[in-house]
């Protein structure tokens, strides 16, 4: 069974765009068969931050890399808005990383599953939150 909509965690976006084998065949299948695959704008911030810190090596500037990743993989940008920012604070505090909380809140707003960079345990903790 395939989810209609997915939101990629930042790690999943990086793995997808770089064709990293960390992204499983099952995850690729889910992505390929989803109606809409969203990426939160917070992922652009995380990618830029890791690039500036030197923990993520990109072949070009982060903004260009991000735009190409969206375009090349037919991904839909899900902007942060006030409702997502507030929802992120209303989530149970299973997970304290603010960027991941924004991604989870985005998934709730667009009625999508999270795939698959967040650990199965983390996404399962929030699976019933609506």
d(CA 15, CA 61): 17
Contacts of 18 (CB under 8 A, 6+ apart): none
Is residue 18 situated within a structural domain? yes
Report the CATH number at residue 20.
3.40.50.1010
Q: Where in the sequence is the domain holding 99, given as residue range(s)?
A: 5-120
pTM score of the predicted model? 0.86
Condensed to tens digits (0 to 9), the pLDDT of residues 14-39 reads 999 999 998 888 889 889 999 999 99
Half-sphere exposure in the Cβ direction for 23 (13 Å, CA): 22
* List of the chain residues with pLDDT < 50: 1-2, 118-121, 124-125, 128-130
Residue 76 lies in a domain: yes
Residue 36, burial from CB neighbour count under 10 angstroms (0-12, 13-18, 19+): middle
Which letter, b or e, does each residue of 57-74 get, where b requires 16 or more Cβ atoms within 10 Å of its Cβ? ebeeebeebbeebbeeee
Overall domain count for the chain? 1
């Amino acid at each position: 069974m395939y989810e209609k909509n997915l939101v990629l965690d930042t790690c999943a976006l990086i793995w997808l765009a770089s064709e990293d084998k960390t992204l499983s065949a099952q995850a690729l299948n889910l992505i390929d068969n989803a109606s809409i695959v969203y990426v939160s704008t917070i992922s652009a911030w995380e990618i830029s931050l890791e690039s500036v810190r030197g923990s993520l090596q990109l072949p070009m500037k982060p903004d260009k890399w991000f735009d190409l990743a969206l375009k090349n993989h037919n991904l839909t940008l899900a902007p942060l808005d006030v409702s997502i920012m507030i929802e992120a604070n209303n989530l149970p505090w299973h997970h304290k990383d603010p960027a991941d909380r924004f991604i989870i809140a985005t998934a709730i707003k667009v009625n999508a599953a999270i795939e698959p960079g967040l650990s199965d345990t983390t996404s399962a903790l929030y699976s019933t939150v609506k």
